Amino acid sequence: MYSINNLNKHYSNGEISHQVLNDITVTIGTGEFLAILGPSGSGKSTFLNVLGGLDREFEGNVLFMGHDLGSYNEKQMVAFRRENIAFIFQEYHLLPTLTVYENVKVGQYLNKKNSSVDEILEKVGLKEHKHKFPNQLSGGQKQRVAIARALIKGPKVIFCDEPTGALDSSTAKMIMKLLLDLNKEHNVTVIMVTHNQELVKISNRYIRMMDGRILSTIHNKQTSDLDEIGW
């Protein structure tokens, strides 16, 4: 699905240049559940933003299904994100003046999919909350709205940036089960950034990053069940 070769990225502040991605070369397969592990400042989120087309200022090659993202103009990049990509962030990014139903409907509108909002909300256990506003929801419920909004787009790839970072353990487990179901039942590629070393045990593969570099790539020969990992 993704083929990344010699990816580099710098931020410049006057005469000072800071390299945040350093010569990254890696491939990511269709239907893979990939975890990216590393401390703050290691380049994890920047890497996600480049792959998802949110950050277009980079050097090297990033191919998606054989297409070079670096060659896309703005219109092509918008279409790429709309048709293929969904993001789930720790901060939820829900629209406060819209109900749960309407927030999910926005995702449907962006990609003109025919999926039923009610069916998606039932899948994530929120159908009875569809008329509530974000300020009436718990953190876990807000994250499930974000997942429903991502799911209704029918994306090929879901990028998750610390999706359970602000949640208690039982809610985090529920969120991870939803992501695993998406991955296994719908063959959606999931790329997840996390600080939690336990969460990488459920992934097919995980990479460790430090100072913008990939230090190691590890394949999980046998993935762990959610009930087997520490929270």
Predicted local confidence at residue 56, as pLDDT: 93
Predicted local confidence at residue 155, as pLDDT: 93
| Dist. CA 72–CA 78, nearest whole Å | 9
Predicted local confidence at residue 112, as pLDDT: 62
For the whole prediction, is pTM greater than 0.85? yes
Domains located in the chain, CATH noted: 2-222 (3.40.50.300)
Predicted local confidence at residue 16, as pLDDT: 85
Q: Which tokens in the block code for residue 91?
A: 């901060």
Predicted local confidence at residue 8, as pLDDT: 98
State which amino acid sits at residue 107: G
76: helix, coil or strand? helix
The answer to whether 108 touches 152, Cβ cutoff 8 Å, is: yes
Helical residues (DSSP H) of the chain, grouped into ranges? 44-51, 74-84, 100-111, 117-123, 139-152, 169-186
| Dist. CA 227–CA 181, nearest whole Å | 15
Low-confidence residues in the chain, pLDDT < 50 = none
Looking at residue 195, the DSSP 8-state letter turns out to be S
